Amino acid sequence: MTATTSGDQTPALHFVKGHGTQNDFVILTDPAAHLDLTQAHVAALCDRRRGIGADGLLRVVRSAALVERGVLDALPDGVAPDDWFMDYRNADGSVAEMCGNGVRVFAHHLRASGLVAADRFTVGSRAGARPVVVHAHDAVHADVTVEMGTVRRDGDSLVRIGDDVYRGVMIDVGNPHLACVVPDLTATDLAAIDFSDGVVLEPDAFAHGANVEIVTAPGTPDGQGRLPASMRVFERGVGETRSCGTGLVAAGAAVLAHQGESAGTLCITVPGGRVEVGIRADGSHLRGPSMLVAEGHLRPGWDRPAS
């Protein structure tokens, strides 16, 4: 992966490493879309042994530049040419439409780096515009809310995980999910689920694969009226992660549907922390922490195989 400068003059590439409830990302700032982000390069960079290691990569790029360079055919719904665009890739190098934790970390990076000077702005994504509010931030920590858009519920489907089969709701939050609420599942049972053989979806259920969430039924509301629940997730293009923002919104909608409700606020615990999810008839939100933990440079030639 090189900047467009040719030959051995390629400059060292600056990166930032961050996470949202331990869903971790490599962030590359590339305003004019000069980087040639191939699937193999992204996979190598996200590899925890031969690269920096991450669940995904966030390229920080001007929306218009992605269209000019042919990465996008057109600007997605509501995205303006000047908006910063989160060009998201999974750890295996595949492209995904949206990443909820990624938007929180992306917005934090924009504020902390001075690329954006306001606390309210819009981030572009392949799933459309995602308005954010940065409630507080410093160089390392931030608290960010993302408007996650409409949650579309489809029919039910099944997933096999090891010897167990779970029924869930197919939910689109810009990207596809199967959110399975298991009423009698305790937090201990949830922690014991073995994802090591992956997840097997019904063959015709999802044209492009899906992320799978296993969620407990909600407990009694907390002091702020939020329903508590716990979740684990197996992400398309990654494997099990310690959190997934779009998955949390899908899980929130599934928990509410399980209660016979279509709107409400939840506080959901994942292995990497806790976030707030709000579901409304006309949209949804995700609020939670972001951390930017490191920065550095990729050495020119990092992607050449060892001789």
Q: Tell me how far, at minimum, the Cβ of 238 lies from ligand LBFN2T5F, in Å.
A: 5
| Contact characters 199-228, ligand LBFN2T5F, x per CB under 6 A | ------------x-----------------
| Contact characters 80-119, ligand LBFN2T5F, x per CB under 6 A | ----------x-----x--xxxx-----------------
Q: CB neighbours of 266 closer than 8 A, spacing ≥ 6?
A: 218, 226, 227, 228, 229, 252, 255, 256, 276, 277, 278, 279
First-to-final CA distance of the chain? 18
Q: Of 224, 235, 98, 210, which is closest to residue 156 (Cα–Cα)?
A: 210
Span of 38-46, 123-131, 179-187, 243-251 interacting with ligand LBFN2T5F by CB under 6 A: 243-251
Q: Tell me how far, at minimum, the Cβ of 178 lies from ligand LBFN2T5F, in Å.
A: 11
Q: Which of 46, 99, 180, 267 is catalytic?
A: 99
Q: Of 306, 304, 300, which is closest to residue 11 (Cα–Cα)?
A: 300
Place of tokens 């306001």: 118
Q: Of 295, 306, 302, which is closest to residue 10 (Cα–Cα)?
A: 302
Whether 288 contacts 273, CB under 8 Å: yes
How far is 15 from 209, CA to CA, in rounded Å? 29
Q: Which of 112, 235, 270, 275 binds ligand LBFN2T5F (CB under 6 A)?
A: 235
- Rule CB under 6 A: say whether 175 interacts with ligand LBFN2T5F: yes
Q: CB neighbours of 203 closer than 8 A, spacing ≥ 6?
A: none
Q: Tell me how far, at minimum, the Cβ of 104 lies from ligand LBFN2T5F, in Å.
A: 8
Active site includes 99? Answer: yes
Q: Which of 51, 131, 218, 245 binds ligand LBFN2T5F (CB under 6 A)?
A: 245
Residue 230 vs residues 163, 177, 234, 245: alpha-carbon distances, Å: 21, 16, 14, 13
211 is in an annotated binding site: yes
Instruction: Tell me whether residue 236 or residue 285 sits nearer to ligand LBFN2T5F (CB atom).
Output: 236
Instruction: Tell me whether residue 63 or residue 211 sits nearer to ligand LBFN2T5F (CB atom).
Output: 211
| Contact characters 35-64, ligand LBFN2T5F, x per CB under 6 A | ---------------------x--------
Q: CB neighbours of 119 closer than 8 A, spacing ≥ 6?
A: 111, 133, 134, 135
Residue 74 vs residues 58, 71, 78, 81, 108: alpha-carbon distances, Å: 19, 9, 11, 10, 26
Summarize the annotated binding site for substrate as residue ranges.
Answer: 23, 90, 100-101, 175, 211, 235-236, 245-246
**Using CB under 6 A as the criterion, which residues of the chain lie in contact with ligand LBFN2T5F when the complex forms?**
23, 56, 90, 96, 99-102, 175, 211, 235-238, 241, 244-247
| Active centre residues (catalytic) | 99, 244
